[in-house]
């Protein structure tokens, strides 16, 4: 099927122009923060979607119809996200709206979409309660925070052989609060102890540190959004704490490259795909992305954007019609979808996918694949 092809189709994009049935299009809305603080994770997601669109259209489209992405910038502002979603929901013939990688922005955008019985697929938000909050038309491409927390807690306890953890949590974001909650629960279940816990608010420039007394930890868990990740790591290392630092996919950001080299060591995080994972489908995606944009993908969020478009396209093909209700039914029955971010399915009645989690190490300017954790 066309949705499984990467390099071969991309290679012919500039060599042929497919003929579409009556020049009809299938219109899909896209919401991302393309400017502002959240753009670091959202821009790669849009690029991944654009790559998927080019591959689909160069292969003849969906049921002979051209895929059109109607893109709107949420500008890293919650009010703007709400207004952008209302504008997209008000357009005629909108099959679905997709995108956004942060839970708070999804919560601002989803109500206007799902209220119109239009499908909403968040590419990267990970709070697993979102589908229950917004109903049958809401789907996730990413794993849930419970799944990534379990993976990183298991890795930290068993592979890193730690037992005493310091936890720093950003309390100004739903994602970071949820991630921290599930990490602490899992780390304790695996036999570890949370010796100290502190809280901060994103953007206030204050990052609380371990106390360094008799509770001195052998592991540091930071639950942050991407803009804060390099800043918090730098402050902790400056203070003399050289223990391993672990986190979730909020650390999957090129911003880590800004950490001074002497502090950029022993950093691990869970994410959706390690871009040096030797899996052939991952490497085909990386090569195709680089050919199209002149640079390698900046993070796993690029692959999530790609997979979201391919997932939706497959559901439209299966439905046989580009109408939200039929496509929603096809989406809910997704099984064995082979994406760049892993093979996954939706359990019956659950619109959070069961999929694997990759663990990545960042050290001295290099992101490297460590291991993959099964969802079972």
* Residue 179 · residue 160 · CB < 8 Å: no
pLDDT at 140: 98
- What pLDDT band is residue 214 in, cutting at 50, 70 and 90? low
What is the average per-residue pLDDT within 336-340?
96
pLDDT at 23: 58
For residue 239, CA distances in Å to 234, 243, 262 come to 9, 12, 12
What is the average per-residue pLDDT within 8-15?
42
pLDDT at 3: 43
Helix (H) or strand (E) holding 207: none
For residue 104, CA distances in Å to 36, 116, 246, 342 come to 15, 20, 22, 25
pLDDT greater than 80 at residue 321: yes
What is the average per-residue pLDDT within 214-221?
87
* Residue 123 · residue 99 · CB < 8 Å: yes
Q: What is the DSSP string of 227-250?
A: GGHHHHHHHHHHTT--S-EEE-GG
Mean pLDDT of the chain: 93
- Note the pLDDT tens digit of each residue in 146-203: 999 999 999 999 999 999 999 999 999 999 999 999 999 999 999 999 999 999 999 8
Phi, psi angles (nearest 5°) of residue 244? -60, 140
pLDDT at 255: 94
- What is the three-class DSSP state of 55? helix
- Note the pLDDT tens digit of each residue in 21-34: 545 899 999 999 99
Beta-carbon count within 10 A of 113 CB: 26
- Note the pLDDT tens digit of each residue in 233-263: 999 999 999 999 999 999 999 999 999 999 9
For residue 225, CA distances in Å to 151, 179, 221, 285 come to 19, 11, 13, 26
Distance CA 62, CA 39 (A): 29
pLDDT greater than 70 at residue 11: no
- What pLDDT band is residue 106 in, cutting at 50, 70 and 90? very high
- What is the three-class DSSP state of 153? helix
């Amino acid at each position: 099927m066309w949705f499984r092809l990467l390099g071969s189709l991309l290679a012919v994009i500039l060599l042929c122009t497919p003929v579409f049935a009556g020049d009809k299009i299938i219109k899909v809305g896209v919401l991302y923060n393309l400017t502002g603080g959240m753009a670091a994770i959202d821009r790669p997601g849009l690029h991944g979607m654009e790559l998927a669109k080019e591959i689909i259209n160069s292969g003849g489209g969906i049921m002979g119809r051209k895929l059109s992405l109607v893109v709107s910038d949420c500008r890293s502002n919650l009010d703007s996200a709400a207004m952008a979603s209302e504008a997209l929901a008000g357009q005629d013939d909108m099959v679905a709206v997709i995108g956004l990688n942060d839970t708070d922005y999804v919560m601002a955008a989803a109500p206007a979409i799902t209220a119109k019985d239009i499908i909403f697929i968040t590419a990267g938000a990970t709070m697993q309660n979102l589908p229950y909050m917004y109903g049958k038309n809401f789907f996730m491409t990413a794993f849930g925070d419970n799944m990534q927390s379990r993976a990183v807690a298991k890795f930290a306890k068993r592979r890193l052989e730690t037992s005493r953890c310091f936890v720093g949590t950003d309390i100004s974001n739903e994602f970071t609060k949820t991630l921290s909650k599930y990490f602490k629960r899992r780390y304790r279940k695996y036999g570890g102890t949370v010796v100290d816990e502190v809280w901060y608010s994103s953007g206030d420039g204050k990052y609380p540190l371990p106390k360094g007394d008799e509770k001195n930890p052998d592991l540091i868990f930071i639950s942050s959004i991407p803009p804060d990740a390099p800043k918090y790591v730098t402050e902790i290392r400056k203070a003399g704490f050289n223990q391993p630092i672990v986190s979730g996919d909020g650390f999957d950001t090129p911003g880590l490259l800004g950490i001074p080299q002497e502090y950029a060591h022993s950093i691990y995080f869970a994410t959706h795909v390690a871009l040096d994972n030797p899996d052939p489908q991952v490497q085909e995606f990386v090569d195709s992305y680089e050919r199209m944009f002149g640079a390698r993908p900046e993070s796993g969020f690029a692959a999530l954007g790609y997979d979201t478009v391919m997932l939706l396209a497959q559901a439209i093909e299966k439905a046989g019609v580009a109408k939200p209700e039929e496509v929603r039914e096809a989406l809910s029955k997704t099984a064995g979808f082979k994406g760049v971010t892993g093979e996954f399915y939706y359990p019956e009645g659950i619109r959070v996918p069961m999929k694997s989690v990759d663990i990545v190490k960042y050290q001295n300017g290099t992101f490297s694949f460590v291991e993959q954790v099964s969802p079972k």
